[in-house]
């Protein structure tokens, strides 16, 4: 299978041609938004952990700047941050794409920064818009899989159908990432049985065990299952997890990608199924997967969901026929046909693959057409990890 | 006849594919669409919720996908609704507020 993508410096391939305006801390976010507003293909993003947010946040912002869907990057900082725009900019520049940065204090305030920022953006945009889509093999694709708003149809239809797609993608030489550290509790054994070797097997147990420790602190109100899950018929975290891991298909797990203060490991060349450490919370997980190199994310839901991501298109699949009927304007793929007996799992898996190829080639997802461009960043609390003796 | 899906023939629960009515026999099917058995729900089972296709004595494993999803905290009879009121996780308990709003444990 082939798709039409954008060639990037260093040999990677993008499926979108975005200009990213990154405000390195939330204090400079309004200026970044003013710069991006009204500029074709520009997206403004930021993080909300302040101006000394820690290395995990820096890794994520660098990673999304390097993501091949991004043609060029403009970073905006106030000027006094612990994590300056120039430092992040120099790291992203290593990818070979055009990167510029501005300090609001140096530029002399809002007016000058917005004027200068718009000038820079237009010149970046001119270059980017000159790129044409070319044909590439599906083996170049890196697809994230994430479920949310799960009900029992997720484990019975939505996730297994996406699992069929993941098997097809991996067999075609492509890569898939699953990030579900907490929704693997109770599903360690079937995951570990798929580890490519003992080292990966141990990493799987450690990643899930560490996350279980973080969510089992006595006295804290822990919400790893939402009310919708329980109303939808899910009874325990084990049931939720065993349904959730179906979306990673059945092929060998090539590695667990580290995601810590030390590093945010990217999906290596060569294809395969990867687990990535991180969080189960959807928009934040998508930012992590984008930072690891994902081109797009498939979201599997039972209850429904209406959001997207600034950098990676988001294909929404529901296994619940009733949810598809109610929310068909938001759901890209109806996998509810499996439960009504109209279609086989394989047939839906193939439909998902076709949708992935079309979206990779430029077709807008329903979320993109609606303008959804969520962006948020997650970090583990370093104090909690220190208290729990969780080491990387 | 209305259907409930078992993911593995080792399972002792099946998931209702549509709302099942109490006292009205339903068919428990396997992913192959083969019929496993007929089972009569004790009461209304909402779509997506589970019912027992085997007796599950208190303390025994509740099995779905051929794997353990929790333990029975009371005796569960054939056709009973299987959910947070009679099953507990072996790993992490969800906030109590969620099951108070559902069924009292």
Say how far residue A85 (Cα) sits from the centre of its chain: 23
Quick check: A85 pLDDT over 80? yes
DSSP string computed for A200-221? HHHHHHHHHHHHHHHT--TTS-
Nearest beta carbon to residue A216 from set B48, B83, B92: B92
What phi and psi values does residue A146 have, to the nearest 5 degrees?
Answer: -150, 135
Nearest beta carbon to residue B64 from set A224, A231, A239: A239
Euclidean distance between CA atoms B48 and A323, whole angstroms: 12
Q: Which domains does chain B have, with CATH numbers?
A: 3-101 (2.30.130.110)
Q: Which residues of chain B have pLDDT under 70?
A: 95-105
In Å, what is the CA distance from A21 to each residue of A24, A192, B60? Answer: 9, 40, 56
Euclidean distance between CA atoms A306 and A13, whole angstroms: 28
Question: What b/e readout covers A310-342, taking b as 16+ CB neighbours within 10 angstroms?
Answer: bbbbbbbbbbbbbbbeebeebbbbbbbbbbeee
Show which residues on chain B lie within 8 Å of chain A, measured between beta carbons: 5, 7, 15-17, 33, 46-50, 62, 64-65, 67-70, 82-84, 87-92, 94-95, 98-99, 101-102
Q: A47 near A135, Cβ under 8 Å?
A: no
Euclidean distance between CA atoms A55 and A60, whole angstroms: 9
| Interchain contact, B92 vs A341, CB within 8 Å | no
Helix orientation angle between A345-360 and A159-171, rounded to the nearest 10 degrees: 60
Q: What is the CA radius of gyration of chain B?
A: 13
Superfamily (CATH H level) for A18-130 = Flavodoxin domain (3.40.50.360)
The mean pLDDT value for A91-97 works out to 96
Question: What b/e readout covers B40-75, taking b as 16+ CB neighbours within 10 angstroms?
Answer: ebbeebebbbbbbbbebeeeeebbbbebbbbbbeee
Q: What is the pLDDT of residue B103?
A: 47
**Nearest residue to A149 (alpha-carbon basis) of A299, A249, A370, A284:** A299
Instruction: Name the residue of chain A whose CA is nearest to B102's CA.
Output: A231
ipTM, 2 dp? 0.94
pLDDT tens, position by position, A199-209 = 999 999 999 99
Helix orientation angle between A85-93 and A55-66, rounded to the nearest 10 degrees: 50
Euclidean distance between CA atoms A305 and A323, whole angstroms: 10
Q: What is the mean pLDDT of chain B?
A: 90
| Interchain contact, A233 vs B94, CB within 8 Å | no
Selected for mutation to probe chain A from B91, B93, B97 (highest A CB count within 10 Å) is: B91
pLDDT tens, position by position, A313-368 = 999 999 999 999 999 999 999 999 999 989 999 999 999 999 999 999 999 999 99
The mean pLDDT value for A5-30 works out to 97
Say how far residue A297 (Cα) sits from the centre of its chain: 6
Quick check: A147 pLDDT over 80? yes
The mean pLDDT value for A57-82 works out to 97
Residues of A in contact with B17 (CB under 8 A): 339
Residues of A in contact with B48 (CB under 8 A): 151-153, 232-233, 302, 320
Selected for mutation to probe chain A from B8, B47, B102 (highest A CB count within 10 Å) is: B47
Instruction: Name the residue of chain B whose CA is nearest to A342's CA.
Output: B33
Euclidean distance between CA atoms B69 and B22, whole angstroms: 25
Euclidean distance between CA atoms B16 and A233, whole angstroms: 9
Quick check: A163 pLDDT over 90? yes
Q: What is the pLDDT of residue B104?
A: 42
Q: What is the pLDDT of residue B105?
A: 41
Helix orientation angle between A29-36 and A110-129, rounded to the nearest 10 degrees: 50
Q: Name residues whose C-beta falls within 8 Å of residue A216's C-beta, 6 or more positions apart in sequence.
A: A222, B92
Return the residue matching tokens 């898939």: A176
In Å, what is the CA distance from A307 to each residue of A283, A345, A364? Answer: 8, 26, 14
Q: What is the pLDDT of residue B92?
A: 84
The mean pLDDT value for A275-291 works out to 96
Q: What is the pLDDT of residue A183?
A: 87
| Interchain contact, A227 vs B92, CB within 8 Å | no
Helix orientation angle between A282-291 and A55-66, rounded to the nearest 10 degrees: 70
Among the residue ranges A19-28, A85-94, B24-33, the one predicted with the least confidence is B24-33
Per-residue pLDDT band at A218 (split at 50, 70, 90): confident
The mean pLDDT value for A183-188 works out to 92
Q: What is the pLDDT of residue A135?
A: 98
Q: What is the pLDDT of residue B96?
A: 64
Instruction: Name the residue of chain B whose CA is nearest to A228's CA.
Output: B98
Euclidean distance between CA atoms B14 and B50, whole angstroms: 5
Residues of B in contact with A243 (CB under 8 A): 65
How big, in percent rounded to 5, are the helix, strand and coil portions of chain A? 40, 20, 40
Q: What is the pLDDT of residue A222?
A: 64
For chain A, counts of helices (H) and of strands (E): 16, 14
| Domain range annotation of chain A | 18-130, 136-369
Residues of A in contact with B70 (CB under 8 A): 235-236, 238-239
Q: What is the pLDDT of residue A209?
A: 94
**Nearest residue to B72 (alpha-carbon basis) of A110, A67, B81, A90:** B81
Q: Is residue B100 classed exposed, middle or buried when 0-12, 13-18 and 19+ CB atoms within 10 A define those classes?
A: exposed
Q: What is the pLDDT of residue B22?
A: 97
Interface size A-B, in CB pairs within 8 Å, comes to: 95
Euclidean distance between CA atoms A92 and A20, whole angstroms: 12
Cβ neighbours, 10 Å, residue A250 = 14
Q: What is the pLDDT of residue A136?
A: 98
Instruction: Name the residue of chain A whose CA is nearest to B31's CA.
Output: A156
pLDDT tens, position by position, A225-239 = 777 888 889 999 999
Q: What is the mean pLDDT of chain A?
A: 95
Q: A319 near B17, Cβ under 8 Å?
A: no
User: pTM here?
Assistant: 0.94
By percentage, how much of chain A surpasses pLDDT 90? 91
Q: What is the pLDDT of residue A219?
A: 74
Residues of A in contact with B82 (CB under 8 A): 235
pLDDT tens, position by position, A38-57 = 999 999 999 999 999 999 99
């Amino acid at each position: 299978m082939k798709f039409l993508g954008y060639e990037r410096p260093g040999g990677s391939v993008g499926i979108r041609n975005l200009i990213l305006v990154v405000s390195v801390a939330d204090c400079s976010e309004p200026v970044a938004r003013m710069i991006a507003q009204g500029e074709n293909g520009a997206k403004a993003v930021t993080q909300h952990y302040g101006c000394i947010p820690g290395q995990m946040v820096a890794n994520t912002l660098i990673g999304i700047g390097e993501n091949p869907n991004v043609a060029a990057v403009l970073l905006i900082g106030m000027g006094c941050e612990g994590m300056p725009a120039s430092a992040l900019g120099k790291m992203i520049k290593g990818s070979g794409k055009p990167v510029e940065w501005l300090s609001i204090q140096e530029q002399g305030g809002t007016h000058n920064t917005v004027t200068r920022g718009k000038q820079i953006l237009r010149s970046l945009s001119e270059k980017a818009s000159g790129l044409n889509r070319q044909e590439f093999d599906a083996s170049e694709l890196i697809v994230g899989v994430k479920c949310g708003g799960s009900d029992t149809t997720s484990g019975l239809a939505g996730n297994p159908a996406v699992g069929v797609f993941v098997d097809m993608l991996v067999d075609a030489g492509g890569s898939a990432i699953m990030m579900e550290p907490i929704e693997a509790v109770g599903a360690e054994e079937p995951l570990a049985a798929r580890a490519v070797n003992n080292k990966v097997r141990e990493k799987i147990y450690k990643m899930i065990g560490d996350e279980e420790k973080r969510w089992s602190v006595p006295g804290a109100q822990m919400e790893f299952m939402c009310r919708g899950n329980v109303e939808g018929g899910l009874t325990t975290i084990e049931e939720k997890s065993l349904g959730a891991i179906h979306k990673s298909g059945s092929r060998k797990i090539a590695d667990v990608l580290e995601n810590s203060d030390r590093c945010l490991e990217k999906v290596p060349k060569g294809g395969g199924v990867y687990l990535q450490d991180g969080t189960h919370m959807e928009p934040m997980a998508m930012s992590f997967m984008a930072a690891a190199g994902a081109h797009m994310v498939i979201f599997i839901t039972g209850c429904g969901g209406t959001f997207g991501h600034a950098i990676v298109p988001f294909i929404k699949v529901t296994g619940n026929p009733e949810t598809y009927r109610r929310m068909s304007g938001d759901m890209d793929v109806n996998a509810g046909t499996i439960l009504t007996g109209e279609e086989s799992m394989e047939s839906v898996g193939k439909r998902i693959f076709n949708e992935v190829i079309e979206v990779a080639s430029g077709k807008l997802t329903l979320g993109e057409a609606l303008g959804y461009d969520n962006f948020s960043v997650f970090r583990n609390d370093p104090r909690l990890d220190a208290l729990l003796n969780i080491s990387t | 006849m209305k259907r409930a899906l078992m993911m593995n023939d080792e399972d002792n629960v099946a998931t209702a594919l549509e709302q099942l009515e109490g006292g009205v026999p339903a068919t428990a099917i396997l992913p192959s669409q083969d019929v496993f058995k007929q089972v009569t729900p004790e009461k209304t089972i909402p779509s997506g919720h589970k019912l027992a296709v085997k007796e599950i004595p208190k303390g025994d494993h509740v099995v779905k996908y051929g794997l353990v999803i929790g333990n029975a905290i009371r005796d569960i009879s054939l056709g009973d609704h299987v959910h947070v009121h009679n099953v507990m996780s072996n790993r992490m308990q969800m906030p109590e507020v969620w099951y108070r709003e559902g069924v009292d444990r």
